[in-house]
Amino acid sequence: MTTTIGVPVSLPPLVEPAAELTVDEVRRYSRHLIIPDVGMAGQKRLKNAKVLCVGAGGLGSPALMYLAAAGVGTLGIVEFDTVDESNLQRQIIHGHSDIGRSKAESARDSVKEINPYVEVILHEERLDNSNVMEIFSGYDLIVDGTDNFATRYLVNDAAVLLGKPYVWGSIYRFDGQASVFWAEHGPCYRCLYPEAPPPGMVPSCAEGGVLGVLCASIGSIQVTEAIKLLAGVGDPLVGRLMIYDALEMTYRQVKVRKDPNCAVCSENPTVTELIDYEAFCGVVSEEAQAAAAGSTITSKQLKAWQDENEDIFLVDVREPNEYEIVSIPGATLIPKGEFLMGTALELMPQDKKIVLHCKTGVRSAEVLAVLKAAGFSDAVHLGGGVVGWVNQIEPEKPIY
């Protein structure tokens, strides 16, 4: 039993049981079979289930591995990226020998090694408006392991429109969140977060970092919820948000009620079909886009200015820990937050050309908008950030 808006709602199993378990499967899943709440019927439901994991990264890694070990009969993987060395600190489904390989193929091989009885379906493409409905329609349950807001809203809206439940998780540094969104029985993601945060307000894991083992903590919660939904046991996290603080080692819950005015899952929705999610989430604000137009330089141009001893003031707007990993020679560290608060403006010289940079160019574009508004009309920023600089100018340096 679970509760939404104070009304008890019974959640039946998502899938019917498979016809049978083989002798080998009975041996493999014996520790499940002797749990009364799972038993033979529950394990047959898992065998008959089709679960899609969106992403084979930090959250997708433990989710795929434990879904496979649990005996979910069909696992779909949506993933278009390749394995990078920086992934290995947390994306445990991949190994060192997989660097450069397709993440989807690497994850499939690991899943088959864990459980050869699982069918794996690969969707090696970026999830977007053109494919999400077709891909989702073939599965009973979605496990969302995405790390950007545009895809999160896309996953949510597609799940609501198709009537599919999905298990959501989010991680950042030492903090994690998890919930189950199922519009038929409770709130959706938009009920919790009606609008995306302003661009640059919430840093990504690539910008702020994440404790590797946090992925296992939240990923295991996601799989637990998936099993409960598939087998029809326990009290799923429908209408509840689980918040985990790894530093304090605390879990707390927040009730999430269905928003009667929700744009997508209310009785009178304003979103009745997929929208432009990049525009909705504003990957870069309109102000930043306007500021960057005509004021973006390349790494080669910056290097030429340095070689020619141009009178520039190069500012790194990242965080101190990022600066310690890799930096551009001659850069002065002034984090983005100091510009947003206004305290950094008095440090800006009036007699030099200001050049801003961050990791990839998003944060520096936001800071550039602040400087332009403050009257520094000649300021520019480095397109591609320190990543572009390392790739083009100093390839011997690390990229995080």
Q: 161-197: string of b/e by CB count within 10 Å (b at 16+)?
A: beebbbbbbbbbeebbbbbbbbbebbbbbbbbeeebe
User: Would residue 53 show up in a list of annotated catalytic residues for this protein?
Assistant: no
Helices (H), 71-115: 103-114
DSSP character at residue 242: E
Q: 140-153: string of b/e by CB count within 10 Å (b at 16+)?
A: bbbbbbbbbbbbbb
Return the SS3 of 180.
strand
Q: Looking at 215, 262, 281, 358, which residue is catalytic?
A: 358
Tokens of 367: 């800071």
Alpha carbons 175 and 376: distance in angstroms, whole number = 37
Give CA angle at 325 (216, 376), nearest 5°.
115
Helices (H), the chain: 23-28, 30-33, 39-48, 60-70, 103-114, 132-136, 149-162, 189-192, 205-208, 212-231, 277-281, 286-292, 299-307, 320-325, 336-341, 362-373, 385-392
Q: Looking at 188, 205, 215, 281, which residue is catalytic?
A: 205
Contact assessment for residue 200 and residue 111, using Cβ atoms and an 8 Å cutoff: no
User: Would residue 205 show up in a list of annotated catalytic residues for this protein?
Assistant: yes
Neighbours of 324 (CB within 10 A): 10
Query: What are the catalytic residues?
Result: 205, 358
